[in-house]
Amino acid sequence: MDSLPFLYSEEDLSENRIIYYESSRGCPYSCSYCLSSLDRRVRARSLEKVKEELAFFLDRRVSQVKFVDRTFNYDSRRALDIWRFLKERDNGVTNFHFEINAELMTEEELALLGSLRPGQVQLEIGVQSTNRQTLAAIRRPSDFARLSDRVNRLKEKKNIHLHLDLIAGLPYEDGESFRKSFNDVMDLHPSQLQLGFLKVLKGSPMEAQAAEFGCRYHGEPAYEVLSTNWLSYAGLIRLKSVEEMVEAFYNSAQFTASLPVLETWFPDYFGLYEALADFHEKKGFGDISVSRLKRYELLLEFCESLGRDRETLIPSLVRDLYLRENLKNRPAWAKDTGISKEEERAFYDREEKERKYLPGYRETAPALKRLTHLERFSDGLILFDYRNRDPLTGNAKEIRAEE
């Protein structure tokens, strides 16, 4: 692996570009849908070479380096060595993405990852399904209880962006089974749920079993499944609509206050996103991109379509609105802040003198008002600080102010 040339130069490191980097090839596992299963050897670039190349990215403050290694932590000592290097050389900017097997994670790995700068690392964990018969059929043994434990442990420090993956169209996974897998993963509350669709790749073990499983799929790249013995074409298309809603409302992290309210109105997570997909289609949007502000209005209409009072959702939507952006022109549905002009002026005048809630700011009261937002909710007075955002969600910092 060390004989392979390093392909990046200064010219390749344009601002905000994602850099894909390979420190190893192969995978010790034999998942039937993956071409890496044909050769279970793993070949790795030397640690000296890897560190030298990562230093090149770090010194140039690349925004993200995405490792394409199939299972980065197949060798715990090697993974720890690289993660320690990244911790020691952290430039405060670069994010590193790794695909890992959560069930392999050791206490030492968990402790080290928990000590990293918030947002420095994001982890992708392939769950694929929680149906044991499905996992056996694709030659992917898994202990979901252990995986869940590791995911929950990784979440404790609130410093790592966690992506959990599911694959639709796998053997023995019908609509109800997939619904359960979806709910199982959503119950872990990952940063993102990535819903993919089975690709029957040429030369893979899955291709050899396609007839047995009734897999009908595109004959051209990306060889995506169209139907199986357990899931019809219409069923897969429906799951694609659900996937679009997950991307728009959950993975975007733009509705972190509203979604928990909506979830209480449905028997499970899947039911919410299925209903959103149906509503989206009825409104005639289909694949048309909808602006973020329009999605707030759509959620209010969705609320009414369920026979719910829109007033029950408005406070959460207002919270989401100001967590993301310091809007100066409030939407009509957002009403007012619940704070008089006199009260607001007095708050910022005090803050200019005391710096109680915004110690890092040096601006005068009028500037503080422009740079932040003050809103009254049922749980009290909240100050939104836009200079200090959550590195995982991008949301403004919420500061509870005294009444």
Over the stretch 229-276, which tens digit does the pLDDT of each residue have?
Answer: 999 999 999 999 999 999 999 999 999 999 999 999 999 999 999 999
3-state SS of 308-359 is CCHHHCHHHHHHHHHHHCCCCCCCHHHCCCCCCHHHHHHHHHHHHHHCCCCC
pLDDT of residue 40: 75
pLDDT of residue 182: 98
Q: Does 267 fall in a domain?
A: no
pLDDT of residue 37: 79
Mean pLDDT of the chain: 95
Tokens linked to 328: 């100066």
Average pLDDT over residues 42-58: 96
pLDDT of residue 328: 84
pLDDT of residue 15: 67
Of 174, 194, 214, the residue that ends a domain is: 194
Q: Give the neighbor-by-neighbor strand order of the sheet with 18-21.
A: 18-21, 64-67, 95-100, 121-128, 161-168, 192-197
Q: Does 2 fall in a domain?
A: no
Strand partners, 96: 65, 121
Q: pTM (2 decimals)? A: 0.94
Q: Which domain holds residue 97?
A: 10-194
Q: Which residues in 25-55 are b (16+ Cβ under 10 Å) and which e?
A: bbbebbbbbbebbeeeebebbeeeebbebbe
Q: Does 39 fall in a domain?
A: yes
Q: Which residues in 270-299 are b (16+ Cβ under 10 Å) and which e?
A: bebbbbbbbbbeeeeeeeeeeeeeebbebb
Over the stretch 189-217, which tens digit does the pLDDT of each residue have?
Answer: 999 999 999 999 999 999 999 999 999 99
pLDDT of residue 359: 95
Which DSSP string do the residues of 191-203 spell out, in sequence order? Answer: SEEEEEE-B--TT
pLDDT of residue 16: 75
Average pLDDT over residues 22-49: 91
pLDDT at 288 over 60: no
Whichever domain contains 94, its CATH number is: 3.80.30.20
Q: Is 128 in contact with 166 (CB distance < 8 Å)?
A: yes
Closest CA to 42 of 20, 67, 23: 23
Of 178, 194, 210, the residue that ends a domain is: 194
Q: How far is 281 from 275, CA to CA, in rounded Å?
A: 10
Closest CA to 67 of 1, 36, 21, 101: 21
Of 165, 194, 223, the residue that ends a domain is: 194
Q: Is 115 in contact with 142 (CB distance < 8 Å)?
A: no
Tokens linked to 197: 């669709």
pLDDT at 11 over 70: yes
Q: Does 278 fall in a domain?
A: no
Q: Is 313 in contact with 327 (CB distance < 8 Å)?
A: no
Q: How far is 331 from 315, CA to CA, in rounded Å?
A: 13
Q: Does 325 fall in a domain?
A: no
Q: How confident is the model at residue 287 (pLDDT cuts 50, 70, 90)?
A: low
Q: How confident is the model at residue 403 (pLDDT cuts 50, 70, 90)?
A: confident
pLDDT of residue 286: 62
Least confident among 165-179, 279-293, 303-317, 319-333: 279-293
Over the stretch 72-121, which tens digit does the pLDDT of each residue have?
Answer: 999 999 999 999 999 999 999 999 999 999 999 999 999 999 999 999 99
Q: Does 238 fall in a domain?
A: no
Q: Does 132 fall in a domain?
A: yes
Average pLDDT over residues 297-315: 95
Report the sign of the C-alpha dihedral through residues 249, 251, 256, 260, in that order.
Answer: positive
Q: How far is 158 from 392, CA to CA, in rounded Å?
A: 8
Q: Does 68 fall in a domain?
A: yes
pLDDT at 187 over 70: yes
Number of domains making up the chain? 2
